Amino acid sequence: MGLLLLNGFALAAFAFGRLAVRLVRRAPAWAYAAAPPLAVIATGWALGWLMWALVRGGPGRAAVVAVRPDRRRHLVDLPGPHPPPPPLTPLPALSAPLPRLCPVTVSAETGRGGGRLLYGCMGLGGSWEPGPYGPRDVDAAEEAVHAALDIGITVFDHADIYRHGKAEAVFGEVLARTPGLRDRVTLQTKCGIRLPGREGGPGMYDLRGPTIVRRVEESLERLRTDVIDVLLLHRPDPLADPDEIAGALMSLHGRGLVRAFGVSNTGAPQIARLQARLDVPLVANQLEMSLHSRAWVESGVLLNTPEGAGHGFAPGTLEHCLDHGIRLQAWGALAQGRFTGRQRTPAERATATLLEELARKKGTTPESVLLWWLTRHPAGIAPVIGTARPDRIRACRDAALKAPDLTHEEWYELWTTARGVPLP
């Protein structure tokens, strides 16, 4: 259709050009020859410009849209220049100071407050079966909690799923039995994992907004407290919407139910994405870190080696947490006893022997030396110890109360012995 129109216009221009030259009687011969093609070129140029204007916008576009609104969708919407980014809004002040996650000073009067460790409550509450707990489970929890307090630990780590909620429930009973205890401790719990079989569904991660809010309300009830000091998102949920997560967390904060937030098993890019949507700073990231689970330190030195290929630890996570004041917490810090009674491999046996030698030399326990290996690292790692046995908790006393006593050489000797193979 457009081509036909163009041809019509060209013929008309050609005829007009010849007519114009005939009218000017005494036109030279060259003008008679040149006028028609010049008229065609001029008409073509004018038509071309008109079509360009119609397609690309401007007055032509407005005219088309006005005359044929149905053609609007055929017009190309070209992106204009990028608008300037909105100004950064400063973070609002928190209504209460952030919870202290493992202060590193010891009070001269009480000897307390010096805990460099957290106590992990996953072992409290009896069996992993969903049934009820009994009075003996509460007594055992009370003994463990008091052993932890005795070595200066004041931060207690929970999760809604530990023993199907029974770990939080027995801890709540211990709080109820011990006047004033709630004010002396920092309570941390987690949500985001659904165990298989719960509500008849499969095991999965669930960080949908309403789920987060419901799980926190349930934890508050079990822990018999008004406020959770720190809530960690247990594991990233690939289906979750970060805006929805942030909305749920800010609503919990606004209602005064949670004082601060953190993450667990989460890498730097995911932390940054969530933080960008929150009005409060994330305060902690809990990861598996120990002399047995060494990816956190080895991912930084095995770069460019075959051994380092496929390392699961997100590179840069340690540094990101350090730079943003996010406290690193090490779960599995005692390596589930692999170096202090449950050793199975030659490397574990050799490490256990070395830990005993070092402990003898320094007048402490192998457990404390094992934890010093973590706290000696400059990332400021706070180990979470998970044994429920009071004697094993007390064996960690020096790690809780004293600065790590390991030389550069001793630290490397422990590392390479546990690896069982030399460093690259």
Ligand X SMILES: NC(=O)c1ccc[n+]([C@@H]2O[C@H](COP(=O)([O-])OP(=O)(O)OC[C@H]3O[C@@H](n4cnc5c(N)ncnc54)[C@H](OP(=O)(O)O)[C@@H]3O)[C@@H](O)[C@H]2O)c1
Q: Is residue 231 at the binding interface for ligand X, with CB under 6 A as the rule?
A: no
**Could you list the active site residues?**
162
Considering only residues 72, 342, 360, 361, which one is a binding residue for ligand X as defined by CB under 6 A?
A: 342
Q: Is residue 326 at the binding interface for ligand X, with CB under 6 A as the rule?
A: no
What distance, in Å, lies between the first and last C-alpha atoms of the chain?
73
Residues 155-214 that bind ligand X (CB under 6 A): 157
Considering only residues 386, 399, 400, 406, which one is a binding residue for ligand X as defined by CB under 6 A?
A: 386
The nearer residue to ligand X, 13 or 156, going by C-beta atoms, is 156
Q: Is residue 340 at the binding interface for ligand X, with CB under 6 A as the rule?
A: yes
Considering only residues 153, 245, 282, 333, which one is a binding residue for ligand X as defined by CB under 6 A?
A: 333
What is the rounded distance in angstroms from the CA atom of residue 230 to the CA atom of residue 213?
14
Number of residues in the chain: 424
Q: Is residue 416 at the binding interface for ligand X, with CB under 6 A as the rule?
A: no
Burial of 276 (0-12, 13-18, 19+ CB in 10 A): exposed
DSSP codes, 231-299: EEE-S--TT--HHHHHHHHHHHHHTTSEEEEEEES--HHHHHHHHTT-SS-EEEEEEE-SSSS-HHHHT
Considering only residues 211, 336, 353, 416, which one is a binding residue for ligand X as defined by CB under 6 A?
A: 336
The nearer residue to ligand X, 44 or 99, going by C-beta atoms, is 99
The nearer residue to ligand X, 17 or 386, going by C-beta atoms, is 386
Considering only residues 17, 114, 115, 123, which one is a binding residue for ligand X as defined by CB under 6 A?
A: 123
> Nearest distance from residue 389's CB to ligand X, in Å?
4
Q: Is residue 128 at the binding interface for ligand X, with CB under 6 A as the rule?
A: no
Confirm if 105 and 190 have CB atoms less than 8 A apart. Answer: no
Q: Is residue 265 at the binding interface for ligand X, with CB under 6 A as the rule?
A: yes
Angle at 257 between CA 265 and CA 226, to 5 degrees: 115
Helix (H) or strand (E) holding 31: helix 29-56
Q: Which stretch binds ligand X (CB under 6 A): 208-216, 328-336, 351-359, 414-422?
A: 328-336
Q: Which stretch binds ligand X (CB under 6 A): 7-15, 131-139, 196-204, 327-335?
A: 327-335
Which residues lie closer than 8 Å to 410 by C-beta, 6 or more apart? 358
Total residues contacting ligand X by CB under 6 A comes to 26
What is the rounded distance in angstroms from the CA atom of residue 201 to the CA atom of residue 213?
19
Confirm if 389 and 120 have CB atoms less than 8 A apart. Answer: no
Burial of 179 (0-12, 13-18, 19+ CB in 10 A): exposed
Q: Where are the beta strands (DSSP E) in 30-185?
A: 118-120, 155-157
Q: Is residue 388 at the binding interface for ligand X, with CB under 6 A as the rule?
A: yes
Q: Is residue 295 at the binding interface for ligand X, with CB under 6 A as the rule?
A: no
Q: Is residue 390 at the binding interface for ligand X, with CB under 6 A as the rule?
A: no
Q: What residue ranges bind ligand X (CB under 6 A)?
A: 120-123, 157, 234, 264-265, 286, 331-337, 340-342, 384-389, 392
